């Protein structure tokens, strides 16, 4: 009798373990699915820019607003150059500053253009997902010409910093950007490849 009871208990225990294992797999799958879904939605929201609230925000420097609205042109004074550092800000207005910097690319030259090129290349390499997301999620604010301007500044920086080894630097840049895109969506990869193509097409090699 005791043997039968022990065997019965062992059987029940095994069944319980099996059920628990199945439940854990289901829960893990559900959690991953939910995480992926929410992550996608969060990315859409995070990198979608609403201009009006930034233009009304009194905490944002008037210079940044004027540059975005093209009321003034970028110069090499301290205020303009300091504004480039806003690309590295961690506040909620980072997306707005991205637009401001993008706007200045159309008419920048002189001493302002050099640090802008350095910052542009660094931003794309370190924040590839964010960079392509801005262009994907804000078609009314960013266009192909803007992407071309970014490509031009990045390429200029590659030229300046890699004189004599430009081709290697371009290849390294391509590898780094594509590596950063490995876990991104197909449309992110497509936009990143478009940017790479625009950048490398400027090379004479």
Q: State the pTM of this model.
A: 0.77
pLDDT greater at residue 178 or residue 76: 178
- What per-residue confidence (pLDDT) applies to 161? 93
d(CA 201, CA 205): 9
Q: What is the pLDDT of residues 88-132, one digit of tens each?
A: 888 889 999 999 999 999 988 778 888 999 999 999 999 999 999
- What per-residue confidence (pLDDT) applies to 19? 38
Q: What is the pLDDT of residues 7-54, one digit of tens each?
A: 444 444 444 444 334 333 323 333 333 333 233 444 445 799 999 999
- What per-residue confidence (pLDDT) applies to 189? 95
- What per-residue confidence (pLDDT) applies to 45? 52
- What per-residue confidence (pLDDT) applies to 97? 96
- Is 129 exposed, middle or buried (CB count within 10 Å of its CB: 0-12, 13-18, 19+)? middle
- E strands, 75-169, in order: none
Could you give the angle at the alpha carbon of 127 between the alpha carbons of 191 and 192, nearest 5°? 15
Q: Which of 53-57, 86-90, 161-165 has the highest mean predicted lDDT (pLDDT)?
A: 53-57
- What per-residue confidence (pLDDT) applies to 205? 62
Is residue 188's pLDDT more than 60? yes
- What per-residue confidence (pLDDT) applies to 16? 43
Cβ count within 10 A of residue 170:
21
Mean pLDDT computed over 169-182: 95
What six digits make up the tokens of 113?
Answer: 């253009």
């Amino acid at each position: 009798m005791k043997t039968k009871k022990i065997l019965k208990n062992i059987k029940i225990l095994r069944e319980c373990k099996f059920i628990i294992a199945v439940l854990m797999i289901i829960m893990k799958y559900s959690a991953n699915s939910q995480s992926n879904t929410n992550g996608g939605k969060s990315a859409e929201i995070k990198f979608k820019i609403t201009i009006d609230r930034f233009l009304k925000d009194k905490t944002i420097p008037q210079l940044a607003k004027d540059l975005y609205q093209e009321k003034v042109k970028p110069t090499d004074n301290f205020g303009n150059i300091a504004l480039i550092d806003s690309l590295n800000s961690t506040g909620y207005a980072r997306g707005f500053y991205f637009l401001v910097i993008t706007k200045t690319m159309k008419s920048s030259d002189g001493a302002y253009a050099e640090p802008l090129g350095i910052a542009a290349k660094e931003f794309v390499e370190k924040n590839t997902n964010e960079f392509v997301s801005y262009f994907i999620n804000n078609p009314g604010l960013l266009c192909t010409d803007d992407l071309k301007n970014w490509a031009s500044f990045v390429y200029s920086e590659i030229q300046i910093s890699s004189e004599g080894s430009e081709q290697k630097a371009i290849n390294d840049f391509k590898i780094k950007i594509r590596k950063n895109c490995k876990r991104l969506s197909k449309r992110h990869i497509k936009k990143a490849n478009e940017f790479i193509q625009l950048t490398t097409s400027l090379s004479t090699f």
